[in-house]
Amino acid sequence: MDKNEFMLSRVESWKQSGLSQQAYCDQAGIKLGTFSYWIRKSKNEEAQSGGFIALKKPVFALENKYEIVYPNGVVLRVDTDNLSELSALVNLY
């Protein structure tokens, strides 16, 4: 593990610790200024990654609700997983 990986792993450890930066640095024996630099560096790397991030499905979204809007303005809200029923509703218009 090189210095970059080591310090970025320390930043992640600090984020999960719930400690202030100062308290974490005191426990880990790291200078606060050095640690602040690595926190900024980790934020910059996250911002530049531009990749996808994992999203967790919210607990309240366990139901499957669909909204069908027909060209004539009629809105139909459906709560079902039955694909044949959904297909029939979509093709009504």
CA 62 – CA 59 distance, rounded (Å): 6
Determine how many CB atoms are found less than 10 A away from the CB of residue 90: 13
Q: What is the pLDDT of residues 40-92, one digit of tens each?
A: 988 887 766 666 667 676 655 556 678 888 778 888 888 877 778 878 877 77
CB contact at 8 A, 79 and 85:
no
CB contact at 8 A, 67 and 77:
yes
Determine how many CB atoms are found less than 10 A away from the CB of residue 84: 8
Q: What is the pLDDT of residues 2-41, one digit of tens each?
A: 888 898 899 999 999 999 999 999 999 999 999 999 999 8
